[in-house]
Amino acid sequence: MWLAFPLLFFLATDFTAEGMKALEERRYQEAADLFAKAVAADPGDYAANFHLALSDSLLGKPAEAIPVYKKVLELKPGLYEAELNLGILLVGQKQAREAIPYLQAASEKKPKEYRPRIYLADSLLESGDLAKAEENYKIAAELDPKSPAAQLGLAHAQARQQRLPAAAEHFRQAAGLDPSYRDGLLELASLFEANKQPAEAMEIYQQFPDSAAAQERLGALLIEAKRYPEAIDRLERVIQKDPTSANALALAHAYRLNKEPDKALPLLEKAVAGDPGNYDLRMIYGTSLRDQRKFSPAAREFYMATQRRPDSKEAWNELAGMLIMLEDYPQALAALDRLKAMGAEIPGHFFFRAIILDKTKQYKPALANYEKFLATAEGKYPDEEFKARQRVRIIKKELSKR
């Protein structure tokens, strides 16, 4: 990775000679100690400084190496090896903007060299100069046509300039040059998704049958495309490899959409057991139980959801509905009172309250709530409004006899 300074520039002192030997034998800490002594003996020795910086780089100490390389360039302006190594270190330290002038200078000194060009392109991309990054990636790709890094960098530069069709070709070229770059295709699939091109994304995900993440995304896209049996097939295989709550939830959703709710419930139960504090899971499981008319377990899930989010209007509303179905009127009224205290009452809640009061023969407050419901419903609940009118007529008749 790093360029060593030519030996002919190296002063023949004991420290430097021993340091060079240690460096060649990969005894980097010993080399750094020896070059530090050489620098202490002669601070103006740019070659000793250079090899001290190189030793620190090889020891994985960029913070120590960077200022020494800068000192080298003060002592010996325009030294190619120092410019390149310093630029590479700055890119690695996420200081792309600062790296650009050093890498630009190194590229101009040796325009036929691949390494300064690819690092310059990387620094330009990181700093947001996309057009210049693209230009330099193209040059790097010409200098080394077999470089997957140049192709992937070109893909990134073009994608960030909203030129996805051109970028897609370079993602594919990078993957073709080196199998370790195939994950770039998954990045391309994500870009296709973001660009509302699900068919292209699905085609890529299908190329990764052993990736649970890719198959999960494929399943989600198949659901969006209403291809439920295919989604189920994919997601069932995902669950076998990666039985997470999220994947169980995705498969349960596919079962529900494919009108197989009985298959969804065990998955949701398992998902909730694996992540009991997940409010959204509780609500989805409760809704599924409710739809299967399993009111008691549904009420339990909605109650647990209210414990996770006490301010959830949706959870309290669902809980009230289930408690009414279970004829647990005191608890249902308590849930409605909670909604009232939250300032979240809607016409349906007046109807619920009226039903409870009606069934417990509290006719006057029942009548008041039926009338309040009818005054606020505005024709949005025709079936319930019909029932309310009938009960209003009956209750008034009953009360008139008293």
Per-domain boundaries in the chain:
158-208, 346-402
Distance between CA atoms of residues 258 and 230, nearest Å: 10
Distance between CA atoms of residues 207 and 284, nearest Å: 32
Question: Residue 301: what pLDDT?
Answer: 96
Question: Residue 65: what pLDDT?
Answer: 97
Question: Residue 3: what pLDDT?
Answer: 61
Question: Residue 240: what pLDDT?
Answer: 85
Question: Residue 2: what pLDDT?
Answer: 58
Question: Residue 29: what pLDDT?
Answer: 96
Burial class (CB in 10 A: 0-12, 13-18, 19+), 364: exposed
The residues, ordered by sequence, that sit 6+ positions from 199 with a Cβ below 8 Å of its Cβ are none
In this structure, which long-range contacts are made by residues 303-312, counting pairs with CB atoms below 8 Å and at least 24 apart in sequence?
304/276, 305/279, 308/277, 308/278, 308/279, 308/282, 309/279, 311/342, 312/279
Q: What amino acid occupies position 155? A: A
Q: 253 falls in which pLDDT band (50, 70, 90)?
A: confident
DSSP 361-383: T-HHHHHHHHHHHHHHHTTS-HH
Mean pLDDT of the chain: 92
Question: Residue 1: what pLDDT?
Answer: 55
Question: Residue 242: what pLDDT?
Answer: 84
Residues 319-375 have pLDDT tens digits of 999 999 999 999 999 999 999 999 999 999 999 999 999 999 999 999 999 999 999
Could you tell me where the DSSP H helices lie in 195-227? 198-205, 212-224
Mean pLDDT of 57-61: 96
Q: 306 falls in which pLDDT band (50, 70, 90)?
A: very high
Q: Per-residue pLDDT for 11 more than 50?
A: no
Residues 164-206 have pLDDT tens digits of 999 999 999 999 999 999 999 999 999 999 999 999 999 999 9
Indicate yes or no: pTM above 0.75: no
Q: How many CB atoms lie within 10 A of CB 33?
A: 16
Do 286 and 305 meet the contact criterion of CB atoms below 8 Å apart? yes
Both tokens assigned to 126: 């990181």
Do 354 and 370 meet the contact criterion of CB atoms below 8 Å apart? yes
The residues, ordered by sequence, that sit 6+ positions from 280 with a Cβ below 8 Å of its Cβ are none
232-241, 300-309, 373-382 — most confident range: 300-309
Residues 26-37 have pLDDT tens digits of 999 999 999 999
